């Protein structure tokens, strides 16, 4: 059985997390080394990691442009900080904001996303 890669902590972002077994009730859970957040318990190691990985994570701002289609937060930065949710289409190099479009390749700023679809 191959080990599933554990995602960083959804609360603090620390990449160092451990899979721990509870000796009191024989379950497994993932714990963050930095903030000590515990993920959901499971009787199976892989299920515990999958449940940890499924926890929602905060989006982080980056200057790296999107590499896949979707909805993103975008902001220009600076004194006149224009921001909003944009639609990105990689194939056409288009970013749509409030009904107007820009070429993604010619756009500067910061992005966070993609924003996951609601359930």
Average pLDDT across the chain, whole number:
86
Q: What is the 3-state secondary structure (H, E, C) of the chain?
A: CCCCCCCCCCCCCCCCEEEEECCCCCCEEEEECCCCCECCCECCHHHHHHHHHCCCCCCCCECCCCCCCEEEEEECCCCCCCEEEEEEECCCCEEEECCEEEEHHHCCCEEECCCCCCC
Q: Per residue in 22-54, pLDDT tens? A: 877 788 999 999 888 888 888 899 999 999 998
Most confident of 76-80, 83-87, 92-96: 92-96
The closest alpha carbon to 8, from 32, 38, 29, belongs to 32
User: Is the pLDDT at 103 greater than 60, yes or no?
Assistant: yes
Delimit the domains of the chain by residue range. 1-57, 70-112
pLDDT at residue 13, rounded to an integer:
78
Q: How far apart are CA 61 and CA 47, in angstroms?
A: 30
């Amino acid at each position: 059985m191959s080990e599933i890669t554990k995602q960083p902590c959804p609360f603090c972002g620390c990449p160092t997390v451990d899979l721990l077994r509870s000796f009191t009730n024989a379950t497994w859970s993932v714990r963050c080394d930095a903030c000590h957040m515990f993920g959901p318990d499971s009787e199976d190691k892989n299920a515990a990691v999958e449940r940890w990985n499924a926890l929602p994570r905060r989006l982080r701002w980056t200057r790296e442009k999107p590499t896949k289609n979707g909805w993103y937060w975008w902001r220009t930065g600076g004194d006149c900080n224009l921001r909003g949710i944009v639609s990105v289409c990689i194939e056409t190099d288009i970013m749509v904001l409030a009904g107007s479009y820009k070429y993604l390749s010619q756009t500067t700023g910061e992005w966070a996303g993609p924003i996951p679809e609601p359930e």
